[in-house]
Amino acid sequence: MPSLQSDGLVLSASDAGSPRVVALAGKLDANSQAAAERFLEEIVAGGATQVVLDCTALEFISSAGVRALLFLVKRVKPLGGAVSVCAPRPHVRQLLEFSGLKALLSISTTVEEGCAALAR
């Protein structure tokens, strides 16, 4: 399972499958944005176009973190792909909604719901 630990953020991805599940833990902010984008770019370069982001353990996201998620959306959309954010904490969900990112991806309560949303 590919993984990355950088500046308070831990990312880990399922080995294969569609959709590809990426778990985020810790803080996605300006300190970890570039590393997160590189990790997500590798996932897409490896063939993933349907990506489920498991945010169960994501404690904090800043506007820089939102940009990292937007980066992912912009990478998979031209390939016919989509992104689902799953199980975000209330303050993370609120930032995604206020930022307008909700219009570009789905937000689900569980990883299973996120996978199902991308299967449609």
Containing domain of residue 48, as a range?
3-119
CATH number of the domain that residue 114 is part of: 3.30.750.24
Number of domains making up the chain: 1
What is the reported pLDDT for 16? 75
Task: Select from 115, 26, 108, 105 the least CA-distant residue to 69.
Answer: 105
Integer Cα distance of 32 and 55 in angstroms: 15
pLDDT in tens, the chain (120 residues): 688 898 899 999 998 778 999 999 999 999 999 999 999 999 999 999 999 999 999 999 999 999 999 999 999 999 999 999 999 999 999 999 999 888 899 999 999 999 999 987
Decide: 6 and 41 in contact? Cβ < 8 Å: no
- Could you tell me which residues are beta bridge partners of residue 53? 22, 85
What is the reported pLDDT for 83? 97
What is the reported pLDDT for 17? 79
What is the reported pLDDT for 1? 63
Q: Is the dihedral of CA 45, 1, 27, 49 positive or negative?
A: positive
